[in-house]
């Protein structure tokens, strides 16, 4: 079964947790240990992201290493065309809907589309919207950041994603954000949108993940915590896995 279909099946029963990993040479040393532990804790898959400076060989190497120790799906979450690898199971083919630059809405996608097709990996169309503070991705993607209290604007972009035909919606505060996206914004989005909703950026505690799930998030994504405080990740993953609506 394809990754997205499998995720949809699981979502009928419980929310999902995904772990964002940066294909960075400095982080490869303890990757095997971390992957095994994350799988044991119950994460549902790996998103492979990283900045625009991702090295192709290194990306392949990272995915190869993950695949050698885990059976979980590996999904590309690319920052540009160099974040694409045929070793992954799938790619979230995303459009940064609230970018001021058309390059990030459809330009970079046009540059990479044929390559993705040739690789034959599963494509998951995803709307991506960035909320304040947006951090590095907001800057690089030239996001016209949605203010944390501008719930209506967030709902507009979220619903637009669904009407455009996206299969998945990612609401992002930016990696390393001091606080996650406000729960009031997530609950309002959830009232209007029916495609699965991933929330990420600044999630460091189980309580934050639980509050976002309660507000309506379907998938929780954490990245920084895996690098900065690995001891905390088990609690977050288990909280997500055990949550029931
Ligand atoms: C990045 O939102 C994700 O796209 C993960 O954010 O690194 O803050 O967990 P963190």
Would you state the pLDDT for residue 51?
A: 62
Pocket-testing residue among 47, 75, 78, 203, ligand 1, by greatest number of atoms within 8 A of Cβ? 203
**Distance from the alpha carbon of residue 21 to the mean position of ligand 1, in angstroms:** 9
Strand partners, 130: 172
Backbone angles phi, psi at 96, to 5 degrees: -80, 90
CATH for the 3-242 domain, from 3.30.70.270, 2.60.120.1030, 3.20.20.390, 2.60.40.10: 3.20.20.390
Q: What digits encode the pLDDT tens for the residues 17-47?
A: 999 998 887 777 789 999 999 999 999 999 9
Q: What digits encode the pLDDT tens for the residues 68-127?
A: 999 999 999 999 998 999 999 999 999 999 999 999 999 999 999 999 999 999 999 999
- Region 144-151: mean pLDDT is 98
Residue 245 scores a pLDDT above 90: no
Would you state the pLDDT for residue 201?
A: 98
Closest CA relative to residue 239, chosen from 13, 33, 41: 41
**Distance from the alpha carbon of residue 225 to the mean position of ligand 1, in angstroms:** 9
Would you state the pLDDT for residue 54?
A: 77
Would you state the pLDDT for residue 153?
A: 98
How far apart are alpha carbons 160 and 64 in whole angstroms? 36
**Distance from the alpha carbon of residue 137 to the mean position of ligand 1, in angstroms:** 10
- Ligand 1 site residues (CB inside 6 A) read 20, 49, 172, 175-177, 200-203, 221-225
**Distance from the alpha carbon of residue 26 to the mean position of ligand 1, in angstroms:** 18
Cβ atoms of 36 and 70 closer than 8 Å: yes
How far apart are alpha carbons 135 and 119 in whole angstroms? 31
Would you state the pLDDT for residue 7?
A: 98
Cβ atoms of 113 and 121 closer than 8 Å: no
**Distance from the alpha carbon of residue 204 to the mean position of ligand 1, in angstroms:** 10
How far apart are alpha carbons 195 and 1 in whole angstroms? 19
**Distance from the alpha carbon of residue 219 to the mean position of ligand 1, in angstroms:** 13
Report which of residues 45 and 53 the model is more confident about.
45
Atom of ligand 1 nearest to the CA of 202: 8
Would you state the pLDDT for residue 231?
A: 95
Residue 1 scores a pLDDT above 70: yes
Strand partners, 125: 93
Residue 52 scores a pLDDT above 70: no
Strand partners, 200: 172, 221
Pocket-testing residue among 19, 143, 177, ligand 1, by greatest number of atoms within 8 A of Cβ? 177
Atom of ligand 1 nearest to the CA of 137: 4
The whole-model pTM stands at 0.97
- Cβ–Cβ contacts within 10 Å for residue 8, how many? 15
Report which of residues 57 and 28 the model is more confident about.
57
Q: What digits encode the pLDDT tens for the residues 177-235?
A: 999 999 999 999 999 999 999 999 999 999 999 999 999 999 999 999 998 999 999 99
Cβ atoms of 138 and 113 closer than 8 Å: no
- Cβ–Cβ contacts within 10 Å for residue 149, how many? 12
How far apart are alpha carbons 9 and 78 in whole angstroms? 25
How far apart are alpha carbons 190 and 213 in whole angstroms? 11
Which two structure tokens, joined as six digits, stand for 148? 């944390």
Domain spans in the chain, listed from the N-terminal domain onward: 3-242
Q: b/e per residue, 101-122, with b = 16+ CB within 10 A?
A: eebbbeebbeebeeebeebebb
Residue 130 scores a pLDDT above 80: yes
Would you state the pLDDT for residue 28?
A: 73
């Amino acid at each position: 079964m394809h990754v997205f279909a499998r995720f949809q099946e699981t979502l009928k029963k419980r929310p999902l947790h995904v772990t964002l990993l940066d294909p960075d040479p400095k982080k490869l040393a303890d990757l095997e240990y971390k992957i095994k532990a994350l799988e044991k804790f119950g994460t549902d898959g790996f998103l492979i992201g990283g900045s625009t400076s991702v090295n192709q060989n290194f990306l392949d190497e990272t995915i190869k290493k993950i695949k050698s120790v885990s059976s979980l799906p590996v999904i590309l979450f690319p920052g540009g065309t160099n974040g694409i690898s045929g070793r992954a199971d799938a790619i979230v083919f995303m459009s940064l809907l609230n970018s001021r630059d058309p390059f990030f809405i459809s330009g970079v996608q046009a540059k990479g589309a044929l390559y993705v097709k040739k690789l034959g990996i599963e494509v998951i169309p995803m709307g991506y919207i960035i909320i304040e503070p947006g951090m590095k991705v907001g800057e690089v993607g030239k996001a016209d950041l949605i203010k944390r209290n501008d719930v209506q604007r967030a709902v507009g972009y979220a619903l637009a994603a669904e009407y455009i035909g996206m299969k998945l919606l990612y609401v992002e505060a930016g990696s390393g954000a001091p606080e996650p996206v406000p729960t009031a914004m997530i609950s309002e989005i959830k009232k209007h949108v029916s495609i699965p909703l991933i929330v990420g950026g600044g999630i460091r505690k189980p309580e934050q993940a639980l509050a976002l799930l309660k507000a309506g998030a379907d998938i929780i994504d954490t990245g920084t915590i895996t690098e900065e405080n690995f001891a905390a990740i088990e609690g977050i993953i288990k909280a997500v896995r055990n949550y029931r609506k």
